[in-house]
Amino acid sequence: MRKILTAAGVASSALVLGVLVAGPAAAATASSQFEVVFPGQKPQTLYSVDNTAALKDGRMTGKSMTYWQILEDQVVDNSKRFSSFKITSRIEERLTQSTEDHIVTTRTCDLTQLVNDNYSWFLDEPANNCVAPATTYDGELWWSSDSTVVYDIEGDGKGAVTKELQGSPLIHG
């Protein structure tokens, strides 16, 4: 009986040690939506962005997944909708939970052709994900992923529109 308990104790100690060495894994996502009304007979469209911050293997990652759908069943005007549609994904850190964000890494992705060529997009694929470069995680800081979309509607004469989107919840510890 003593050998069984000793073996069980060694196995459970190894399991606990493995969990401690592996470290925490965490992910946090926030979603934002905005509608775009186009001139003429182009379909009104709802755009959504999921900002995800994730901790994996001691690295903080951040990505912004963009997807969209038309809000009308009838597509009347098949012409180009955007002159430009870009998203900038960021990994941000804070010294405390309530202080301001500081950008650690950033990447801007040009989705103009993708959004012009597809009236709707629901898939999570590399084409519609903008991934900021990963960075070394520091558990003393508070981390999040955030993004900004800047688009220019073709032919409306109003210029670029900027949408600041909801950042992910904070990861800490």
pLDDT digit string, tens, across residues 132-172: 999 999 999 999 999 999 999 999 999 999 999 999 999 99
* Strands, sheet with 129-136, edge to edge from the N-terminal-most edge strand: 26-36, 45-56, 59-70, 129-136
Which residues in the chain land under pLDDT 50? 1-23
Strand bridging mode 142-153 / 160-164: antiparallel
Residue 25 is predicted with a pLDDT of 56
- CB neighbour list of residue 106: distance below 8 Å, 6 or more residues apart: 88, 89, 90, 91, 132
Residue 75 is predicted with a pLDDT of 64
Tokens of 124: 């999570």
Residue 78 is predicted with a pLDDT of 76
Residue 139 is predicted with a pLDDT of 95
**Structural fold of domain 25-172:** Immunoglobulin-like (2.60.40)
Across the chain, what does the average pLDDT equal?
86
Domain boundaries, given as residue ranges, for the chain: 25-172
Residue 14 is predicted with a pLDDT of 36
* Whether 66 contacts 133, CB under 8 Å: no
